[in-house]
């Protein structure tokens, strides 16, 4: 609660008449902001669930505007000096009831007035010091949060680097494994190719040997045929000689 002993005269005043709320309901809202700073009072009214709080907030904003624009005060220098609600006229209406009777409906109104005063110099200095301390504390919290965030980001970056190094090592191992596998596959393929070449050379040697053997057999068969022919010729010559001899003997 701000003290009102130093400044008794109001700095600015705003009022509204014939508000369609009863004075009792409006007074319950005014009791929440009486003696409070203007900015704090606006925050209280913003978070109040009463129906008349919006109307009171409009009148308080009008009083603050009168002080700031007309007289050049700042909103942080002002506080709620006076606020009251007087009863206005009562609007009478009737409601039909049973047996032709009518019951009265009273629609209450009120007149609302809010006056603002200026805080003393001592209170303003204390308020400014408190506000500066709050700003410094907020700044420190902001700097601390930024430092923690940067430290977390550096930790995350270092962890990511470690993960990248591990992944690079795993990739290198996989690449070496792939290289060894490819080398083994190439060696196996080269061995298979050498084996196939050896088999082909062996097959070619065997085929050459078969050809030579066939040629030898054919040559031997030709020699034997020639020998047989020579023998047959000798035998025929011998037989012819024997025949000639026998013919000479007979003669």
Q: Is residue 61 part of a domain?
A: yes
pLDDT tens-digit series, residues 205-219? 666 666 666 666 565
- Given a contact cutoff of 8 angstroms between Cβ atoms, the answer to whether 2 and 36 are in contact is yes
Q: How high is the pLDDT of residue 173?
A: 67
Q: Is residue 47 part of a domain?
A: yes
The DSSP symbol for 37 reads B
Q: Is residue 29 part of a domain?
A: yes
Among 128-132, 186-190, 209-213, 222-226, the least confident range = 222-226
Q: Is residue 43 part of a domain?
A: yes
Q: Is residue 183 part of a domain?
A: no
Counting the structural domains of the chain, the total is: 1
pLDDT tens-digit series, residues 76-127? 888 999 999 999 999 999 999 999 999 999 999 999 999 998 888 787 788 7
CATH number, domain of 42, equals: 3.90.470.10
For 68-89, the DSSP string reads IIIH---GGGEEEEEEEEEE--
Q: Is residue 81 part of a domain?
A: yes
Residue 85 lies in domain? 12-94+103-119
Q: Is residue 68 part of a domain?
A: yes
CB count within 10 Å of CB 45 equals 23
Among 2-6, 60-64, 104-108, the least confident range = 2-6
Q: Is residue 222 part of a domain?
A: no
Task: Summarize the confidence of residues 126-140 as an average pLDDT.
Answer: 83
């Amino acid at each position: 609660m701000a003290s009102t002993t130093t400044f008794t005269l109001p700095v600015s005043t705003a009022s509204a008449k014939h508000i369609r709320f009863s004075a009792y309901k409006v007074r319950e809202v005014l009791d929440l902001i009486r003696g409070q700073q203007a900015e704090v009072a606006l925050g209280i009214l913003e978070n109040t669930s009463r129906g008349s709080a919006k109307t009171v907030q409009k009148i308080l904003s009008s009083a603050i505007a009168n002080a700031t624009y007309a007289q050049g005060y700042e909103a942080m220098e002002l506080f709620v000096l006076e606020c009251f609600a007087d009863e206005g006229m009562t609007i009478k209406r009737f409601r039909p009831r049973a047996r032709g009777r009518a019951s009265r409906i009273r629609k209450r109104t009120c007149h609302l007035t809010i006056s603002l005063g200026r805080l003393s110099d001592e209170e303003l200095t204390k308020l400014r010091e408190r506000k500066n301390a709050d700003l410094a504390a907020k700044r420190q919290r902001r700097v601390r949060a930024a430092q923690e965030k940067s430290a977390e980001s550096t930790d995350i970056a270092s962890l990511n680097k470690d993960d990248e190094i591990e992944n690079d090592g795993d990739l290198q191992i996989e690449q070496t494994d792939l290289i060894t596998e490819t080398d083994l596959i190439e060696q196996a393929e080269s061995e298979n190719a050498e084996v196939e070449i050896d088999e082909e050379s062996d097959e070619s040697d065997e085929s050459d040997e078969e050809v030579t053997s066939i040629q030898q057999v054919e040559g031997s068969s030709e020699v034997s045929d020639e020998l047989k022919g020579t023998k047959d010729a000798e035998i025929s010559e011998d037989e012819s000689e024997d025949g000639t001899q026998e013919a000479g003997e007979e003669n």
